[in-house]
Amino acid sequence: MTMANSYSGGVPMVGTEVFTADGDTLGTVKEVTGTCFKVDAKMQPDYWLATDTIASADGGAVRLSLNKDRVGQAKVDGPEHHGIHRHNGGSTVL
């Protein structure tokens, strides 16, 4: 499935809360590198996501284009990965 994404706001700010499309809180943005950001997850290991998984963002919240049950498939190995998304503005493919 290809996730179309219209968000073009760049990278999120460290400390911003991260929510899934269905409203679950995942944690906060811990680190940002290139087009990826690390989620400081509550009660589980931290993980990286691509900025192209972001549907919208404002000063206090990042809302992903993914429901909670799809987040595991979108996790990437780190900012230098060769995983689930392209670093040239392409779409996330799940």
Task: Give 2-84's CATH code, choosing from 3.40.50.2000, 1.10.3720.10, 1.20.210.10, 3.90.50.10.
Answer: 3.90.50.10
Q: Where are the domains of the chain?
A: 2-84
Residue 93 has pLDDT above 80, yes or no: no
34-61: b or e for each residue (b if 16 or more CB lie within 10 Å)? Answer: ebbbbbebeeeeebbbbbbbbbebeeee
Alpha helices in the chain (DSSP H): 68-74
Residue 3 has pLDDT above 60, yes or no: no
Confidence label for 44 from pLDDT (cuts 50, 70 and 90): very high
Residues 50/62, Cβ–Cβ less than 8 Å = no
For residues 45 and 10, the model is more confident at: 45
Tell me the pTM.
0.76
